[in-house]
Amino acid sequence: MIGVVLAGGLGTRLHPLTLYTNKHMVRVGCLPMIEYPINVLAEAGIKDIVIVSGGEFFEQIEQYLSHGNERGLNFHYENQNRAWEKPKGIAHALSRVKKIVGKEDMAVILGDNIFGMKLDFNLKEGMEAKIFLKEVKNPERFGVAEIKDGKVISIEEKPKKPKSNYVVTGAYVYKANVFDFIETLEPSERGELEITDVNNWYIKRGKMCYEIIEGFWSDAGTRESIKVAEEYVIKSGLEEKILKKYPFLNSRKEWEKLFK
């Protein structure tokens, strides 16, 4: 299985921080937020990881992460869009890894998502995709899963009247046939290829499985959510765990000096 971290987008909700840096290099605690999704994949035993980014700060992530060998990992890089181009959505970003992934299954995670638990990226027998659901108090902010008889029967993006409190988090598993479907997708009203359309395709074909996760989950795409995530990674010890995991990340104090 190959890991994919989708680290594109303009990061407009984090202006002015993202006027001068890639969104996924913004710190959550003392670490760039991209460290947390990478850690989720590494904890699952995934060694080959593709980083998809874009825009004028594309090279920042590659310069920071390098080849990954010192972590026991192997990083690949793909550019979603040039600096003058508008990002075309999560599904479009995923399509960029087709040549690297080939026919492998892939564990996909959004670069601004922070999970407080290990994720099981194995597919159930006969299934071709998997989503991770989380029960929340404000489902109208997310893609909401309708569940019936132990199956997800639909996903609705940011509904005014949610059919459940279970929302789709930013982690997915897909077989390589996802690329064939993405090629048939039409842009949504906002001009993007939507990952919700991809997930609903698998659902309609009866090939989607799901897992309800317990524990902490948040994105870090706004100033408010960064504060929530930062409090968690510090108090839970997740930040310190990552710092101790790799010899070159050996103290919080050194990281704070680097990012002043």
Residues 107-138 have pLDDT tens digits of: 999 999 999 999 999 999 999 999 999 999 99
Q: Is residue 163 part of a domain?
A: no
Write down the mean pLDDT value for the chain.
89
Domain count of the fold of the chain: 1
Is 144 within a domain?
Answer: no
pLDDT in the model for residue 246: 83
> Hey, what are 6's tokens?
């989708």
Examine residue 131 and state whether it is found in any structural domain, yes or no: no
CB contact at 8 A, 69 and 42: no
Q: With pLDDT > 70 as the criterion, what percentage of the chain qualifies?
A: 88
Task: Let me know if residue 149 belongs to a domain.
Answer: no
The candidate with the shortest Cα–Cα distance to 147, out of 189, 95, 208, 86, is 208
CATH number at residue 179: 3.90.550.10
3-state helix, strand, coil in the chain (%, to 5): 35, 25, 40
The pTM assigned to this predicted structure is 0.91
Q: Would residue 98 count as lying in a domain? A: yes
Q: Which domain holds residue 83?
A: 2-122+171-207+216-255
- Does residue 249 form part of some domain? yes
Query: Which residues of the chain carry a pLDDT beneath 50?
Result: 11, 15, 19, 252-253, 260
Contacts of 29 (CB under 8 A, 6+ apart): 230, 233, 234, 239, 252
Is residue 69 assigned to a domain? yes
pLDDT of residue 15: 47
**Position 136 in a domain:** no
What digits encode the pLDDT tens for the residues 70-110? 999 999 999 987 655 677 899 999 999 999 999 999 999 99
